[in-house]
């Protein structure tokens, strides 16, 4: 396969000993063999480095990069992407608790080579018993990037996946010293919106990656603090003027801010702690948002009125919320929430 394009695979990992061997084995099992693989050890205190080095000793395509100092999660992802080979045509991020199905690189590469304009290639991902990501309408497999961005910013389906489900064109990654430029845990979303401004989007209609059983750090935090909604607002602020008309952007911002104030009103009534409000203030400062106390109070009153009108629904909702809170507090203690809030990597 001397003429075959080189694919650089990178895995940023922090204390990933539980799943790292399975992750590495999934790369070794690829039907496509012209790849190199760099595992970026982020100052792990468990057996992560030992496991990575044992594989590197057995296969010359694998190497280990160890950070000299602990890097926050987004910073560490950027460090990993800087490790791709100068000769690579494509690169594949693979988180340490995920793995690739055997034909993953082969199938993604086949589509990328068929459509040179593609900057990102996604596919379905399995997470437990669930299949993740909305796929393009079959058999459509290539769409202009700007069209995908417009659809998403207008509230359409999320086709973009995560870094771990995508294949990137390496020259696009090299053009950006920090591929993920935002500070929050959804920095991949805004990075993808940026990339697709000058490239197209591809989708393979097969399940090619597996999202492993996480410690639920980022996922639980994102759900409990509703950072996904804040990421939508950040995306609209930064890229709405690029892809939408002024009227479209104004309408979408009104919709998202309405949802956000309803969420904040519920959070007031649920007596969220100081850490929760401190994190949202951090978002407000970063996004230049000014919290309107009158609007917040109005939404609190509206929530109370709705609860009084439909007490059974209100009780069911609060029970569901508290049960979810109990599960996530077991999966991720307060100290863990604080680490994610500060952008520190727990499992990657």
What pLDDT digit, counting tens, does each position of 222-281 carry? Answer: 777 888 899 999 999 999 999 999 999 999 999 999 999 999 999 998 888 899 899 899
Region 307-320: what's the mean pLDDT?
65
In the chain, the percentage of residues whose pLDDT exceeds 70 is: 86
pLDDT in tens, 116-161: 999 999 999 999 889 998 889 999 999 999 999 999 999 999 999 9
Model pLDDT, residue 315? 56
Residue 192's nearest CA partner among 208, 210, 169, 209 is 169
Tell which wins on pLDDT, 199 or 222: 199
Q: Residue 334 — pLDDT band, cuts 50, 70, 90? A: very low
CA 332, 333, 337, 343 torsion-angle sign: negative
Model pLDDT, residue 186? 86
Whole-angstrom Cα distance, residue 38 to residue 240?
35
The CATH class, in words, for 7-213 is alpha beta
Q: Residue 32 — pLDDT band, cuts 50, 70, 90? A: very high
Q: Residue 341 — pLDDT band, cuts 50, 70, 90? A: very low
Model pLDDT, residue 212? 78
Q: Does position 343 have pLDDT exceeding 60, yes or no?
A: no
Model pLDDT, residue 331? 45
Q: How far is CA 260 from CA 189, 298, 348, in A?
A: 19, 13, 29
Whole-angstrom Cα distance, residue 307 to residue 338?
31
Q: Residue 217 — pLDDT band, cuts 50, 70, 90? A: low
Region 15-21: what's the mean pLDDT?
95
Residue 320's nearest CA partner among 227, 223, 178 is 223
Q: Does position 335 have pLDDT exceeding 50, yes or no?
A: no
- Residue 312's CB: how many other CB atoms inside 10 A? 7
| DSSP string covering 304-345 | HHHHHHSHHHHHHHHHHHHHHHHHHHHHS-HHHHHHHHTTB-
Model pLDDT, residue 345? 40
Question: For the purposes of burial, counting CB atoms within 10 Å of the CB of 90, is it exposed (0-12), middle (13-18) or buried (19 or more)?
Answer: buried
Model pLDDT, residue 213? 59
**Where do the structural domains in the chain lie, given as residue ranges?**
7-213, 218-331
Which residues, in sequence order, are bridge partners of residue 210? 99, 126
Q: Does position 100 have pLDDT exceeding 80, yes or no?
A: yes
Q: How far is CA 210 from CA 45, 95, 113, 130, in A?
A: 26, 10, 23, 10
> What value, to the nearest 5°, has the Cα angle with vertex 214 and ends 23 and 274?
145
Q: Residue 2 — pLDDT band, cuts 50, 70, 90? A: low
Model pLDDT, residue 330? 45
Cβ proximity of 200 and 145 under 8 Å: yes
Q: Does position 338 have pLDDT exceeding 50, yes or no?
A: no
Tell which wins on pLDDT, 315 or 13: 13
Cβ proximity of 253 and 233 under 8 Å: yes
Model pLDDT, residue 114? 97
Please name the residue that has the structure tokens 């519920």.
Answer: 266
Whole-angstrom Cα distance, residue 29 to residue 104?
10
Q: Residue 336 — pLDDT band, cuts 50, 70, 90? A: very low
Q: How far is CA 312 from CA 271, 301, 307, in A?
A: 20, 18, 8
């Amino acid at each position: 396969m001397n003429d075959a394009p080189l694919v650089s695979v990178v895995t940023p990992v922090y204390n990933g000993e539980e799943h790292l061997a399975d992750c590495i084995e999934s790369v070794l099992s690829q039907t496509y063999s012209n790849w190199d693989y760099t595992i970026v050890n982020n100052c792990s205190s468990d057996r992560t480095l030992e496991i990575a080095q044992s594989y590197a000793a057995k296969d010359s395509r694998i190497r280990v990069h160890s950070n000299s100092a602990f890097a926050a999660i987004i910073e560490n992802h950027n460090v990993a992407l800087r490790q791709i080979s100068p000769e690579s045509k494509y690169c594949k991020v693979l988180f340490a608790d995920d793995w690739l199905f055997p034909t993953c690189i082969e199938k993604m590469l086949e589509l990328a080579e068929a459509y040179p304009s593609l900057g990102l290639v996604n596919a379905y991902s399995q997470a437990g018993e669930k299949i993740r990501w909305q796929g393009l309408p079959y058999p459509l497999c290539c769409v202009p990037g700007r069209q995908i961005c417009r659809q998403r910013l207008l509230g359409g389906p999320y086709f973009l996946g995560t870094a771990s489900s995508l294949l990137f064109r390496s020259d696009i990654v090299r053009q950006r010293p920090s591929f993920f430029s935002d500070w929050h845990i959804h920095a991949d979303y805004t990075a993808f919106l940026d990339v697709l401004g000058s490239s197209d989007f591809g989708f393979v209609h097969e399940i090619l990656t597996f999202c492993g059983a996480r410690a639920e750090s980022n996922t639980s935090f994102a759900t409990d603090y509703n950072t996904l909604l804040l990421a939508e607002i950040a995306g609209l602020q930064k890229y709405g003027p690029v892809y939408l008309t002024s009227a479209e952007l104004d309408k979408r911002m009104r919709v998202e801010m309405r949802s956000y104030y309803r969420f904040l009103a519920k959070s007031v009534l649920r007596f969220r702690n100081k850490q929760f409000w401190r994190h949202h203030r951090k978002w407000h400062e970063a996004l230049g948002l000014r919290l309107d106390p009158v609007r917040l109070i109005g939404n609190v009153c509206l929530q109370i009125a709705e609860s009084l009108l439909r007490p059974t629904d209100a009780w069911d909702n609060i029970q569901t919320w508290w049960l979810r809170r109990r599960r996530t507090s077991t999966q991720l203690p307060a100290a863990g929430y604080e680490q994610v809030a500060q952008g520190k990597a727990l499992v990657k």
